[in-house]
Every structure is written in C-alpha cells, then in structure tokens.
Structure 1
C-alpha cells in the first residue's frame, strides 16, 4: 500500500452491529417498556454499525476526512453485515478491518425511546481479543491521527491493569502519530466495572494526546466514591447536574498531570468541556496534529465550555462519538480551540436529529454554514462560578491564562 493511498486518520477499537427498534409515540419512560410479560408494539428496526470505530470513523468520513477503520469482527453473519454496511459508505473504509475466524461479532440492541436517553443490551464479541498485534503498523506511516475507542468494552485492554492498552498506544505514539482516546462506562458488576481504572489510565495516558471521556465515565473511573454518592442522591441516575465548574477543573487537572495534552469531557445535553496543557513542550509533542504556530498560543492553558445547539431530538445514539468526530476533524483542520468546540457540538447536534448514529452527519462546511447562520444554543444550566460567556458564545473558565481572556 502506497503512502498516497493511506488515510490521514485511523479509527480503531470497538465495533458492533446495532439493532434499533423504532419506538412510536410521545415520550415513553423505560419503566413502561420493561414490564415482565408485556408486548410492546414497535416499528421497523434500524440496522446499523455501532461502537467507536463505526460511529466516530464514519462521522469523520462524512465530515470530509480520509479514514481507515480498524475494528475486529468474526467471520459470522453479524460480521458480514458490519463489513457490508461499512463498504456501503465507501469500500475503502472496510479494507483495514480485522476478521477473526471462529470468533463472534459484537452486537447491541439499542432501546432509544423519543426524548429519553438510550440503553444498550450488548455483547462484546471479538472486541475482547483485540490486541496490539492486530494493528496494521504500516498504515501509521501516513496517518496523522489515531483514535481508539471504548477500551472498557474490550477485555484485553483492561486486563493486567491495562498493559495491552498502554503497549498499543505507545506503539502508535512512537510513530509520530497524534493519539486520541475515548472511553465507555462498563457495567459496574462486570470484570471491566471492577477493574482499577485509575491504575489503567495512569499507565496509558502518557501516550495519549487528546482524551475525550464523558463526565459520568471519568467520575466512575477516578472518583468511584463520589460517583456512588451522586448516584444515591440522583433520583433519575443522571449525574450531569453535578458537573459544576470547580469539579470539572479538578478532574481535568488530574488528567493533564497523568500526561495528556488536551482533556475533553462530554457533558451530554449540557455540551462539551475542554482544558488544555500549560506546557508548550507537551503541546508540541502531540505529533502530526499538534496545533500550528499560528494557533498554538490559543491552545495553551485554556479552559472553555460550549453548550449544545438547539435541534429537535430524534435519538441520542452515537451523540458522543459524533461530537468527538467533530472535535478531531476540526483539530486536523488547524482551527482555534473555540472553533473546535463549536464544530464538535455542532456535529453532535446534527447526530441527534436522527435515530441512528451517523445519518444526520453533514460535511464540515455544511455544519459551519449552520453555525454561521445564527444557530441558537441551549441556555447553560450547569453551575459555573467565575466563568464568562464570551463573544464566541463559549464559556471561558477561570483556569486559563490571562492573555486568553480578551480573545
């Protein structure tokens, strides 16, 4: 394979087949659906690929990036369906996929009622055996960015305190490629849920440039006692109302000290929080997607939040993955940080206008056409003391250098 034919971004990690029943009617609580013996009348099932490889990878492709997908499937009917769907977007997308004879492919049944967050019934399948040896290292020669998603749903990535995850990311990083990492919240009763995630992240994050977990995921992994206390306090199980500015800053600082250059915390309906390193050498060491000298000052020692754009929500499947795609796409385009956040939440907003994970994703220029056409944002509802809403319609935090206050 020639360098000219290789993709600028590789998306690796977890992939599955999503089966999404269409649930009719107005808002339906999950408690009304899961009643023993009850028959629920649903519509046509949407069949799509899911997981970070599919959601973030195809979203990046639709935005306009050159993408190679490196997930792992079995040689079964679900695996054939996954490869067929990927190839339907573009045959080149499936060429990097790993096919494991004798293994079963991962699948999810996604329960996503209107106006209600979704739940998943999930089988991890071949994702559990994904290893650094599966990586097509020759493809790294031309890649600018390597994104890895959902290690908590991949057994080999969290066993032995994450030795394999750290080895894989170190392997990529040593080739000069910028590394980004996304997480997933495991079932607390599972082996992944009982793993020592602070130890795993301590080992892996020195090889990660951009770390993009959700608020709930990172609280679970780093502050389990606080997670459990908030879960007891929350009637709905929603932890996002507790995402106050001071706590976000505290968690982000921990992660920066673990070695990452850029921390992004997904805040669901409240938007996206980002904090960046104060160390110019660390930012420069990001590899091929390090911010250029033209915008580097803007990226140093910054802390901002963008709330979400207003849309009619059809479903939230893949919203976080597509938000990440918007972030990475605009990072590769060399944008300023505030524009990267606006792109990220803009792509996330496009996603939730459709029930599945990627049908709503437009090209990058179309997303920015909406943004530039006075696309309204939701009112910020989080507790952000000492934060300021600037002229770019992003909230600027107190933990950023003073020279950034008057952009």
Structure 2
C-alpha cells in the first residue's frame, strides 16, 4: 500500500529530476538474469462497498481508502520473478509526473535495483488504471496508456543485454508504436535483442476492439515478429482475437458476460499452436485460465537457437505437447494471474527445469497469485512454492477422476498420473 511521506516525496522528486534520461551503462549497478520490458502503469483501487452499479450520474458515493500498486505486465511478471528469487531488471517508461514518482517508489520498495533500467520521459504522462469494483470479483478497469504509447525501439537498453539470459516483453497491443506500421517497431526490437544472444520471450493481451490496436492486422504483426521470439506466452483469448477473429466473436457472443474458456476445444488450441510454430516461435505456452497451461514446442534442431536460457536437455523439450491443470486454490482475484504464471514458466527455463516441472512451476505461481487481492502479494519464494507442490498440492480436477473438467480423452489426450499432465497427440513421447 502506498502511503504519502513528505520527506520521501522530496527525495523521490529529486531523484526523478536527475533521471530524465536513462542511466548510462557505466552508471548501472545491474546484476540481473532477466529483463522484463513493456507496459507499466499505476493501479488505483478505491475501496467500494456497493460496486460499480452504485456509480450513477449526480449521486455522491462515499468510498474508502485508495490502494496504489505498480501495475501492468512489467510489475506483475517482474515482481513475481523478483519474489521467486530471480535477479530481475525492469525496462519500462514512465513520465516525470506524480504518477511516475509513485510507480518508482512502489517498485523501489521491493529493491531499488529493479528500476535502474527504466526510462523517465520528460514532460510525458505516466500510464494509470482505475479499478472499480467490490473487494471480491473482477473490477471494471478504466485505463490511460500514458507514455506507453511512445515507447519505441530506442527505449530498449541494448547495451545491457550482453550478459543477461532472458528478455521478456509484454502487452504490445497497449503500446501504440509497437503495433503501428504492421508491427515494424516490435519486430525491430526483437530482431536486435535476439542478435545479442539473449533468449527472447513475448506476452500479449486482447486489445479493445474499438481502438486502433483492435483493428490492425495482428497476424501480419506476428508473422514479422515471431521469427525472433523464442518463447511465446499468450492467453487463448489473445490468440483467437489475433488469429481467428470470427471464432473469437462467435464464442464471445455465446458466452455473454461469462468466460469463453470452457467452449474452446483442445484441437482448436493445437491448431493455433501449429500456426505459431510455423510463424517462427520455438516454445509456445498458451494460458487457458482455470483450465491450466498448454505447452507446444518445436524440434530439437530449431530449439538449438534458443539463446542463453536454452534448456539443458533439448531432447526432453523437443516436439512436446502437454497440458497442465491448475492447482486447487481459494480464488480472491485473478487480476495478474496470467502474468504470474509466465513468471513461473520463465523461472523454469532459467533454472534448467524439464517441461513438466516448468509447467508445474508456472501453474503454482499463478495459483499463489490468485490467493491475494493484488497480483504480487500472494507470490511466495520459490523454495516455499516448491515445498507446497512437494507436499501434494492437489490439482483442479473433478473429485475421484483423473481427467480434466472437459473430456480430454475424447480428443485423444492421455493423462499421466505421476507427472499430473495431459499428453497430447502431437507429443513426441505420446504412446
């Protein structure tokens, strides 16, 4: 929780005035394994007792204390990695305004080194989200993209990438320069980063259909970018929106205000992963909400070009198709859970885990995230998380049955009782 302190505020303003440009590589004290770059904002959450329905024109609604948190993909994934014990640096863009100061203070409260590779833009406005809703359930989100819209290839600190293992970028659909001109800027970023020998990773989010981001040709953008992306970690809704808009619209219509997740058949996800591998991705992880995490990988020859975070055993990673169910948990809020899941997956790669263990790490970190009202406070250290898994943390499966909520067996998937994963028909170990 962000609390105002006048002395700290003065110190923060002085530091920000000195940070109108990025620190030079000689000034940086970074010693990191991974850089998390892309979208960042300030989350403002007023305490509402009656919910959004009480917000009618002309009525005064009394609210409680406003919670402030660093939001966006950088904060959610980056802070989760930091809490898991991974040396992490953040690479986003904020303005030299009060919201930018708050973002810096909130991130620095975890570790001042987290913000050393951030960019402060003189005269620009920081992004923010206003989250309206009761403590339980999902909020209505009002978002201003701020200087995320001006983030470009020149804002990436290429000079500090020569020693890190992994570069992760998130939410280009909320960053105008990343999707304009059919994604030329996004492709340029990944091409330059990949050339440094770093393993590259990308996450997406569904854009507002009424905005320019919702009307660009995302298939074309992915065609230009994925040849330079080693690990692609979108949500299933993101993929349908970008690669099969008619099916996305159809399922959205059928779902109404509910989720479309349970209406998506496994073979649809397999077909989408085929397309992504053809477009150039090497490892594809598709987040499926409460249904878990799907994994599809290229062959060993392709995986040899994965960069510094390449798995130690390419044979075990080669041509895999796996689906890991979620762990059982008490849901408080799912906001940021997908970003936390990505943190667990990237932890697995950085620590040399095998595919099944990497999926378990991803699902476990995501499950910890939903146990708290914000994206980060539920995350535990990796030893604590691993201990919870080893103690027999149950998976989200129908009681008394070793199969997923959907009948995976009818789609020729096979349940592995010991490893607690479904093995798909496209898996090299399928037997």
TM range (shorter): over 0.9
Task: Give 1:398's aligned residue.
Answer: 425
- Whole-angstrom CA distance in 2 between matches of 1:273 and 1:112: 31
The alignment status of 1:166 with 2:190, answered yes or no, reads no
Pair 1:264–1:111, CA change in 2 (3 A): farther
- Whole-angstrom CA distance in 1 between matches of 2:391 and 2:35: 32
Question: Which string of whole-angstrom CA distances, capped at 9 and with x for unpartnered residues, describes residues 77-108 of structure 1?
Answer: 00000011111110100111100001100001
The alignment status of 1:52 with 2:76, answered yes or no, reads no
- Whole-angstrom CA distance in 1 between matches of 2:254 and 2:377: 36
Task: Give 1:304's aligned residue.
Answer: 322
Any unmatched runs of 5+ in structure 1?
Answer: none
Task: Give 2:251's aligned residue.
Answer: 230
- Whole-angstrom CA distance in 1 between matches of 2:59 and 2:183: 42
- Whole-angstrom CA distance in 2 between matches of 1:23 and 1:364: 34
The alignment status of 1:389 with 2:415, answered yes or no, reads yes
The alignment status of 1:284 with 2:304, answered yes or no, reads yes
Task: Give 1:355's aligned residue.
Answer: 373
Does structure 2 retain, via aligned residues, the 8 Å contact 1:22–1:42?
Answer: yes
Does structure 1 retain, via aligned residues, the 8 Å contact 2:30–2:113?
Answer: no
- Whole-angstrom CA distance in 2 between matches of 1:156 and 1:176: 24
Task: Give 1:14's aligned residue.
Answer: 39
The alignment status of 1:64 with 2:82, answered yes or no, reads no
Q: Which SS does the other structure have where 1:141 is aligned?
A: coil
Pair 1:298–1:119, CA change in 2 (3 A): farther
Q: Which SS does the other structure have where 1:202 is aligned?
A: helix
Name the structure, 1 or 2, with higher relative contact order (CA <8 Å, separation 6+). Answer: 1
Task: Give 2:336's aligned residue.
Answer: 318
- Whole-angstrom CA distance in 2 between matches of 1:249 and 1:168: 28
Post-superposition offset of 1:243: 2.2
Does structure 2 retain, via aligned residues, the 8 Å contact 1:243–1:382?
Answer: no
Structure 2 counterpart of 1:183, from 204, 207, 228:
204
Does structure 2 retain, via aligned residues, the 8 Å contact 1:17–1:107?
Answer: yes
- Whole-angstrom CA distance in 1 between matches of 2:94 and 2:103: 8
Question: What TM-score do the two structures reach when normalised by structure 2?
Answer: 0.88
Question: Which string of whole-angstrom CA distances, capped at 9 and with x for unpartnered residues, describes residues 287-339 of structure 1?
Answer: 001111xx321111111111111111111121110000000011110001011
Pair 1:214–1:112, CA change in 2 (3 A): farther
Question: Which string of whole-angstrom CA distances, capped at 9 and with x for unpartnered residues, describes residues 198-234 of structure 1?
Answer: 0001100100011011111110000001111111222
Question: Which string of whole-angstrom CA distances, capped at 9 and with x for unpartnered residues, describes residues 156-197 of structure 1?
Answer: 000000000000010100000000000111100000000110
Q: Which SS does the other structure have where 1:264 is aligned?
A: strand
Task: Give 1:272's aligned residue.
Answer: 293
- Whole-angstrom CA distance in 1 between matches of 2:49 and 2:81: 30
- Whole-angstrom CA distance in 2 between matches of 1:382 and 1:118: 28
| Deviation larger for 166-175 or 228-237 | 228-237
Post-superposition offset of 1:67: 0.8
Q: Which SS does the other structure have where 1:170 is aligned?
A: helix
Question: Which string of whole-angstrom CA distances, capped at 9 and with x for unpartnered residues, describes residues 240-278 of structure 1?
Answer: 01221101100001001000011111111111111111x
The alignment status of 1:134 with 2:179, answered yes or no, reads no
Q: Which SS does the other structure have where 2:109 is aligned?
A: helix
Aligned residues: 397
Q: Which SS does the other structure have where 1:324 is aligned?
A: helix
Q: Which SS does the other structure have where 2:201 is aligned?
A: strand
- Whole-angstrom CA distance in 1 between matches of 2:136 and 2:315: 40
Pair 1:85–1:370, CA change in 2 (3 A): same
Q: What are the within-5 Å matches in structure 2 for residues 109-258 of structure 1?
A: 109-111=130-132, 113=134, 116-258=137-279
- Whole-angstrom CA distance in 2 between matches of 1:370 and 1:396: 24
Question: What TM-score do the two structures reach when normalised by structure 1?
Answer: 0.93
Post-superposition offset of 1:109: 1.3
| Deviation larger for 115-124 or 389-398 | 115-124
- Whole-angstrom CA distance in 2 between matches of 1:106 and 1:171: 26
- Whole-angstrom CA distance in 2 between matches of 1:107 and 1:119: 14
Pair 1:228–1:376, CA change in 2 (3 A): same
Does structure 2 retain, via aligned residues, the 8 Å contact 1:267–1:273?
Answer: yes
